[in-house]
Every structure is written in C-alpha cells, then in structure tokens.
C-alpha cells in the first residue's frame, strides 16, 4: 500500500470526525474529497483491493439499480461496499471505500468483497480508469441538465471514453430498448449482456424523443412498439440496426399498489416494493448484472423483494392521518414516468411541484415544458407549486389545465405547514421535487422528527 494512500485514509477519517461529530453534518462526500486531495490515486489504491467492481450509470435509475444489485449480491452471501449515501462522483466512491479501510489502508476481506458504485455520467471515465470494473451497467440516456452536460451526445462521449479504458473482459450491461445505449456495443469488442421489456401491453406515443435518428446512418428510427420517449422496440430502416434480443427480459410487468411483479424469462416472478413501469428496467438491469457476477437464481429473486422506496424515490411520510410522498425528478423522461404513475392514484389526492434551479437541479428549467402534466388535468385534488422557481412551476401547471393554488412560501417550513393545513384528513399529497428541493423538504421533515437527517 502506497504511503500516500495510507495518509489519505487518515486525513479522510479525520474529516469524517470533524464533519459528523463537531459540525453535525453527514459529509458523505467530504472524506473522499480530502482523500483525493492527499492522494489523487486513492480510488485506484483502495478500489483495486476488491475482488471485483461494478459501475452503474445512466440518466435515470442508477441509484435504484445499484441498490437492487447490492441487495442481490447480499442475498447471495457476498460482502458489498457501495456508495449508498448517494454521492456518485469519484469522491463519493472513495468515501465509501475509506469507511471500510483500516488505518493501514487495507480493506478487510477485500479479496471476497464486491464494489457496487453508482457513477455520475461525467465521472464515469475517471471511475472506470481507476477501478477497472468487471462490468458497467448503462440504464438509459436522456437529456438532463443541459446547462451542465450539454446535449446527449456529450454524455455519450463520456461513456465511449470510459469504455475505451476498461479491461478486455469487462461486460457491458446495456438497455436493449434504448437505441442510444445500444450503440455503445459498437464502441469496442467487449462482452455484452442485454436487458429489456418484452411485455407490450403498456406504452404510448407520449414524451419527447431524445434519440430520434440512427447514430450510424442518420435515418429516423422506426418503432414496432414504443414504451415512452425513445424507449421501445426500435429499428433503423436505413442501415438495418435493430433492438437486440435481450438475454434478461421481462415477459410480463404488473404494477400494483404494493409494488411491481415482473415475470423474468428463465427466472420466474420477481417482486419489488417499487412502483412504476420504469422500475422494471432498473430491476432487469440489476438482475442482468447479478447474472454476470454469478448470483444464484434464489438471490436474483430475493434481492429485489427487499427493496422499497427510499430517499425521495416514492418515499412516504405519515403525518397524522395524512401522507406525504416525494418523487425526485431531474428531466422530462423521468418526470413523465412519475406523472403517468400519479395518474393512477386516488383522484382526490393532492399534488405539488417544487422546482428549484440551483446547480444540482440544473439552472435551465425549460425542460418542464416537455413534461406531460396535462395527464393530471381534470383530477379532483388540489394542486400547489413551490420552490425557488415556484412561479414558473405554477405557470407550467396552469397551462397544463390544472387549477393551481397560490404559490407556496419559499421557506420549506412554511411551505410544509401551508400544505398540511390545507390537506383534508386521510389524503395523500404527491410532491414532485427537484434535487435541492428534496434535500430542503427532508431536512425540515427531519427537524420535525418525521424523517432521518439528510446526509450532505
């Protein structure tokens, strides 16, 4: 172990102590940030000790997919280290590894421990170069935070660079239903495991295309079936490219009140406490990764069943006889899936949209006009808008045909108080929230003793 990496572990542990014990903050990224300053090679030095590593990336679903995969491996009796607290930059991965390392920089039982790390799209090349993963999971590719990433081609470029850096036996786990993700199979001759939906009962033509034409020949894609956005059973009339046949496929997806039931080809029924058809892809991606890592069929079924809503992803809070449910959104594709899910809830339930425009949210809020809020028009429940850009959120909902209450106060405590006082007993308020709005609301809920403290 290099002395510099050992010094980095010591410095990171000190930073953790100061952040949590003295300042009372979570500090999930701070130890990694300190470690990387002391030893730029900290991720490679610590992560290289592990038996194998899997990276999970994509515009939507990477947090959930990584959680399901970690649960599958745990159900298979594997020791897992993961950046579970949600910091998906390399500093967050280093923080997770530092937490497992001793004072000499050694991770106990590292040779039998698997790393499962969610990776920010732009951080993937650095993570791949340092960790030399056994597999990378790519969930999907949509527009997201245009002011940070630019167009989807920029993100695809990050991913191609990452693929160029991995070992020859690294398995690419790709979404067959996303033509932009499928194109990654052409970057390099690497093993590929495909996942996708073969249940054609659900779908429609709603949602903006983020991949309209073929990257190989420029011809517009044709669809035999379109689930949402550009996700579906696609083919290119120009060059003949078409959706690959997935090795891990869902024959039937049922979205019930208690979660999803997914019939997986060759595996049988897999259940999870997560709702929404979009979580079927996340479940399949995790199962595909588990298969690549040699997990047993029993673990592939058991792992997803242990997963329920967490940290703003359908997370629910009981407040007296009322319920607050939070749905994190970051882009049109993800928001449209949440809106479709909300369209199946009790029509008397309330709905709120908290829109912030800070760096972590994306400062360009024009994406809200590509969200099909019109699907919620005509419901009987009351509608609110809030956040830094509450007036913009209210305007968007107004043009969607929703009768919007006066804009909520900008202070989270006042906004929550206003909502809870206005809600009828026994009802649920479904709140769509951007990232920093989620953090603020959860901090306020934690202050009131209704949620665990938000980790920074």
For residues 405 and 86, the model is more confident at: 405
In this prediction, what percent of the chain has a pLDDT beyond 70?
A: 93
In this prediction, what percent of the chain has a pLDDT beyond 90?
A: 77
Contact 199, 252 (CB under 8 A): yes
β-pair type (259-264, 268-272): antiparallel
**What is the Cα gyration radius of the chain?**
22
C-alpha distances in angstroms, 401 versus 267, 348, 356, 383, 396?
44, 16, 22, 11, 9
Average pLDDT over residues 278-286: 97
Mean of per-residue pLDDT scores for the chain: 92
Cα–Cα distance between 83 and 66 in angstroms, integer?
9
| 152 band by pLDDT with thresholds 50, 70 and 90 | confident
Using one digit for the tens of pLDDT, what is the confidence trace for 173-212?
999 999 999 999 999 999 999 999 999 987 765 555 667 7
Q: Is the pLDDT of residue 70 over 50?
A: yes
Using one digit for the tens of pLDDT, what is the confidence trace for 391-434?
999 999 999 999 999 999 999 999 999 998 998 899 999 999 99
- Model pTM? 0.90
Q: Is the pLDDT of residue 122 over 50?
A: yes
Catalogue all structural domains in the chain, each as residue range(s) with its CATH number. Answer: 42-305 (3.40.1190.10), 313-447 (3.90.190.20)
Output the DSSP codes for 51-78. SEEEEEE-SSSHHHHHHHHHHHHHHTT-
Average pLDDT over residues 330-338: 91
| Model pLDDT, residue 448 | 87
Using one digit for the tens of pLDDT, what is the confidence trace for 28-69?
788 999 999 999 999 999 999 999 999 999 999 999 999 999
């Amino acid at each position: 172990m290099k002395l510099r990496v050992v010094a980095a572990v010591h410095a990171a542990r000190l930073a953790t102590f100061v952040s949590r014990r003295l300042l009372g903050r979570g500090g999930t990224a701070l130890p990694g940030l300190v470690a990387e300053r002391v030893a730029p090679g900290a991720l490679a030095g610590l992560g290289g000790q592990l038996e194998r590593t899997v990276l999970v990336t994509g515009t939507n679903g990477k947090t959930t997919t990584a959680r399901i995969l970690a649960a599958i491996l745990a159900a298979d009796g594997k020791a897992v280290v993961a950046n579970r607290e949600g910091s998906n930059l390399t500093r967050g991965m280093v923080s997770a590894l530092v937490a497992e390392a001793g004072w000499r920089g050694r991770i106990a039982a590292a040779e039998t421990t698997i790393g499962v790390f969610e990776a920010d799209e732009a951080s993937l090349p650095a993570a791949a170069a340092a960790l030399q993963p056994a597999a990378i999971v790519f969930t999907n590719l949509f527009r997201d935070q245009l002011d940070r990433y630019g167009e989807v081609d920029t993100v695809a470029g990050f991913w191609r660079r990452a693929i160029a850096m991995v070992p020859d036996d690294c398995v690419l786990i790709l979404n067959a239903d996303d033509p932009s993700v499928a194109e990654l199979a052409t970057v390099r001759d690497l093993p590929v495991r495909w996942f996708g939906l073969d249940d054609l009962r659900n779908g429609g033509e709603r949602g903006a295309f983020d991949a309209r034409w073929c990257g190989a020949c420029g011809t517009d894609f044709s669809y035999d079936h379109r689930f949402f956005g550009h996700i579906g059973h696609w083919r290119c009339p120009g060059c003949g490219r078409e959706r690959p046949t997935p090795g891990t496929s869902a024959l039937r997806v049922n979205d019930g009140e208690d979660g999803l039931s997914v019939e997986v080809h060759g595996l049988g029924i897999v259940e999870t406490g997560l709702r929404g058809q979009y979580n079927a892809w996340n479940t399949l991606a995790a199962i595909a990764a588990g298969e690549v890592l040699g997990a047993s069929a029993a673990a592939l079924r058991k792992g997803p069943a242990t997963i329920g809503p967490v940290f703003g992803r359908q997370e629910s809070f009981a407040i007296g006889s009322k319920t607050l449910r939070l749905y994190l959104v970051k882009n049109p594709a993800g928001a449209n899936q949440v809106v479709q899910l909300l369209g199946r809830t009790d029509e008397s339930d309330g709905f709120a949209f908290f829109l912030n425009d800070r760096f972590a949210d994306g400062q360009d809020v024009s994406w809200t006009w590509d969200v099909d809020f019109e699907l919620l028009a005509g419901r009987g429940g009351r509608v609110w808008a809030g956040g830094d850009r509450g007036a913009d959120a209210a305007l968007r909902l107004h043009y969607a045909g929703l009768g919007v209450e006066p804009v909520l106060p900008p202070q989270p405590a006042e906004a929550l108080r206003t909502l809870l006082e206005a809600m009828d007993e026994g009802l649920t308020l479904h709140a769509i929230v951007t990232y920093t709005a989620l953090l603020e609301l959860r901090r306020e809920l934690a202050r009131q003793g209704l949620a665990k403290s938000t980790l920074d």
